Structure 1
Amino acid sequence: MPPKRAVKEEKILLGRPGNNLKSGIVGLANVGKSTLFQAITRCSLGNPANFPFATIDPEEARVIVPDERYDWLCEHYKPISKVPANLTVYDIAGLTRGASTGAGLGNAFLSHIRAVDAIFQVVRCFDDAEIIHVEGDVDPVRDLQIINDELRIKDIEFVEKNLEILKKQTARGGQSLEMRKLKEEQAIVESILSWLVDEKKPVIKKSWGNKEVEVINNLMLLTAKPVIFLINLSEKDYVRQKNKHLPKIKQWIDENSPGDPIIPISVSLEERLAGLSDEEAAEECKRLGTKSAIPRLVVLMRNVLNLISFFTTGPDEVRQWSIRKGTKAPQASGVIHTDFEKTFIQAVVFRYSDLKELGDEASVKSGGKLLTKGKEYVMEDGDIVLFKAGAAKG
């Protein structure tokens, strides 16, 4: 008999499953979060003000994801309707030292972070006598440490409570399957607690196995979320890409959150550009010899959320859809309509790169680049797809 093929275990991603994932803008009070939120979403939500806790309830908006492929497809098909991908962004109230024990808006703030899937962490690196710093002076490394500690302390508290519940359940003893599962979960929770307490690092910074990831995802831990660090500079420092704090910030991130993206940004410049037309903003950037950081940070956030795109195209509509990396064709079709997933038959797929190279769909087909895929097909970034599904049962 031929040997059995080894079944490759699919790696479970940290974080909630789903395609409509959300990002939160986080930081201490008065570091530029709400102003950034307004600039990034080009809307008047948020509540920028020169005092702590100006934002109390998280504001929500959607920002369009810039993508040259989508732009090209719209130009190619000239559709009646155009629907780009978007990213949901929340402006979250400013954190303060002691938030994990309820100081300031602590508990509400931390629950708002628990509700998002990834974090834009804003750190202030500019001096301005008119904008009060909640800690009294500008020290970005201290601010980074405060946020790191508050999120970790809250996770420790949450994990300890969960462990307490599990210990009560396993104390009953027995050899049932359910008891063995509880004991296994208890051991995993103990290892998560040990990592947070002894290593003092975010949960996301350890390589966990699939069973451990399942437990972590159920706990919805604050330090299990991916982070992009946004370093808020003065306009002058942003243009010249220099600031006295940057080396120390990089050193801190390398030691405490290695591998996380660091993006210098000038929120004051972004606010000014957001108030201009696209042409005026491009002219101003050209004059300054710089460019907006916002397109880059939106694309980067999508990447850290493990989101990719597929497209549906035609003369009626070009639409960019977001799915998580590793999504199979039936689940991708369900993003368009839930009935499609239930009645999925096949996916007719071709690559954006092939369409652009060959010029039109007829050439793609005659060149053998039009593929028919079944239920096990894993979608790839840039797929252009037509899903075929049966009639839904009434």
Structure 2
Amino acid sequence: MGLSIGIIGLPNVGKSSTFNALTKAQNAQSANYPFCTIEPNRAVVNVPDKRLLALAKIVNPERVLHSVVEFVDIAGLVRGASKGEGLGNQFLANIKECDAILHMVRCFEDGNITHVEGRIDPIGDIEIIELELLLADIQTLNKRIERLQKQAKTDKEAKNSLECAHALLAHLENLLPVRSFGGKDSEAFEVLNKELRFLSNKAVIFGANVEENAINGNAYSKQVFEYAHSHGAEAIVICSKLEEEMVDMDEAERKEFLKSLGCEESGLEQIIRTGFAKLGLISYFTAGVKEVRSWTIHQGDKAPVAAGVIHKDFEKGFIRAETISYDDFIQYGGEAKAKEAGALRVEGRDYVVQDGDVMHFRFNV
């Protein structure tokens, strides 16, 4: 299981520059005109996790494998995207594939960089994008309702889905996003969302893109944070220009540079940490001589589900999970000494995996 984050926003707000910086790929074209990006750029990057390196020092494996995040640089949306403006339908379809959205918002003034709306207004920018996502969901839902009305005549499940769809449509027509719909816990909604992947139901992180001298925020970014918190979303301050400057720095240089700016984390670290928390994701580890590896699961997943992330056969044939907490593994210096100290636990099917667990699965083929 990986995390996929789509980078969206109006044209010329710093999406491609941010993508370049976050992925260190430098392969997303960046230019001062709308629709510079048409096909989405994709890049897979490692999830920063210091715990992996600590485990590797003890185990001395042949290789170390991080969990990964896929970043997707999606072309700039514009007013009318839900009706196809600016190739909007194509771009909106790309968002459906992502688990979460990084919504980049322009929070800087620069007369040399064109704003598609001709002004600097972070909240106005956000509302344009949010409305287009919502209108796209209305279109998608209306099409589904047409099909359900025919199926509901003979199918009880379709009838339940239709009732839910009508309630959701009324919610959307009041210009309220799917994420605030009161019927989200119903089975009928889960079926609809799994099929239609509503855009306004995606977890959102707002990235307030500021100038170099405002890395800790400015009046514009304050507006973005207030909007995010009032709408159940998250927000971070990021300077895409400074992030790009750090691309060629080694780890020590990057840390020193961030420290000089009064920052503890890079933009990448902020986004991944926030994304994991927003989606309820955690990591567990496997640690052997061949590899030390991080695996991504949902908080609350039980041991067989966690095993299935490695291979579906592990879940099907699950017997038990030999488990050591990360802290115990480090404290005792590895599996053997942790076992001697009684810190290795044998967990069954009902065990809820904890963040940082070091696990070894036993299973039948």
TM range (shorter): over 0.9
Aligned to 2:80: 98
Q: Distance in 2 between matches of 1:383 and 1:290?
A: 29
How far off is 1:273 after superposition? 1.1
User: Retained in 2: the 8 A contact 1:66–1:299?
Assistant: no
Describe how 1:241-252 pairs up with structure 2 within 5 A. Answer: 241-252=216-227
Given that residues 285 and 295 in structure 2 are in contact (C-alpha distance below 8 angstroms), is that contact kept between their aligned partners in structure 1?
yes
Mapped to 1, the partners of 2:68 and 2:286 lie a distance apart of 15
1:25 aligns to what? Answer: 7
Shift in Å at residue 202 of structure 1? Answer: 1.9
Which structure's CA Rg is the greater one?
1
- Identify which of 282, 296, 306 aligns with 2:280: 306
Structure 1 residue 307 displacement after superposition: 1.9
- One-letter amino acid of the counterpart of residue 288, structure 1: L
CA distance in 2, matches of 1:24, 1:319: 25
Q: How many correspondences in the alignment?
A: 362
Letter in 2 for 1:37: F
- In the other structure, the counterpart of 1:197 is 173
**Does the residue aligned with 1:112 lie in a helix, a strand or coil?**
helix
- Structure 2 counterpart SS, 1:75: helix
Other-structure match for 1:152: 134
Q: Deviations over 1:94-144 (max 9, x none)?
A: 101100000002011000011111100000011111111111121111100
| TM-score, structure 2 as length reference | 0.93
- Give the distance between the partners of 1:67 and 1:214, measured in 2 at CA: 35
Q: After the TM superposition, which of the residue ranges 273-282 and 146-155 deviates more from structure 2? A: 273-282
Match for residue 35 of structure 1? 17
RMSD, aligned α-carbons: 1.8
Which of 164, 176, 193 aligns to 1:216? It is 193
Spell out structure 1 runs of 4+ moving beyond 4 A: none
Structure 1: unaligned runs, 5 residues or longer: 1-18
Partners of 1:129 and 1:73 lie apart in 2 by 49
**Helix, strand or coil at the partner of 2:119:** coil
Within-5 A mapping of 1:151-170: 151-170=133-152
How many Å apart are 1:195 and its aligned residue?
A: 1.6
Q: Which amino acid aligns with 2:161?
A: E
SS in 2 for 1:119: strand
**What one-letter code is carried by the residue in structure 2 that aligns with 1:305?**
L
> Which string of whole-angstrom CA distances, capped at 9 and with x for unpartnered residues, describes residues 19-73 of structure 1?
2331100111010011111111111221111111111111111121111221211
Name the SS for the 2:156 alignment partner: helix
8 Å CA contact retained: 1:56, 1:92: yes
- Matched with 1:4 is none
Cα distance 1:247–1:360, how it changes in 2: closer, same or farther (>3 A)?
closer
Equivalent of residue 270 in structure 1, options 231, 237, 243: 243
Q: Return the alpha-carbon distance in structure 1 between the equivalents of residues 283 and 260 of structure 2.
A: 34
- Aligned-pair distance for 1:295? 1.0
Question: Matched residues in 2 for 1:279 and 1:380: separation?
Answer: 31
Q: Are residue 112 (structure 1) and residue 94 (structure 2) matched? A: yes
State the Cα distance separating 1:350 from its structure 2 match.
1.5
The unaligned stretches of length 5 or more in structure 2 are none
C-alpha deviation, 1:205, in angstroms: 2.6
- CA change 1:371–1:288 in 2 (3 A) is closer
- Does the CA contact (< 8 Å) of 2:4 and 2:70 recur in 1? yes
- State how far apart, in whole Å, the 1-side matches of 2:310 and 2:185 are: 32
1:346 maps to what in 2? Answer: 320
Q: Distance in 2 between matches of 1:289 and 1:181?
A: 56
Question: Is the partner of 2:85 in helix, strand or coil?
Answer: coil
Identity, % of aligned positions: 39
More divergent stretch after superposition (208-217 vs 21-30): 208-217
**TM-score (norm: length of structure 1):** 0.87
| SS at 1:250 equivalent | helix
Residue 231 in structure 1 maps to residue 204 in structure 2: no
Maintained 8 Å contact 2:61/2:291: yes
SS of 2:165 mapped into structure 1: helix
Taking the aligned partners of 2:52 and 2:58, their CA distance within structure 1 comes to: 10
Distance 1:252 1:286 in 2: 28
Q: Following the alignment from structure 1 to structure 2, what is the Cα–Cα distance between the partners of residues 390 and 356?
A: 30
Once residues 313 and 89 of structure 2 are traced to their aligned partners in structure 1, the CA distance between those partners, rounded to angstroms, is 39
Among candidates 22, 26, 32, match of residue 44 of structure 1: 26
The one-letter amino acid of 2:90's match is A
CA–CA distance in 2 between the matches of 1:64 and 1:104? 33
Match of 1:181 among 144, 153, 157: 157
Deviation at 1:146, TM superposition (A): 0.1
Relative to structure 1, the CA distance from residue 328 to residue 210 in structure 2 (aligned partners, 3 Å threshold; closer, same or farther) is farther
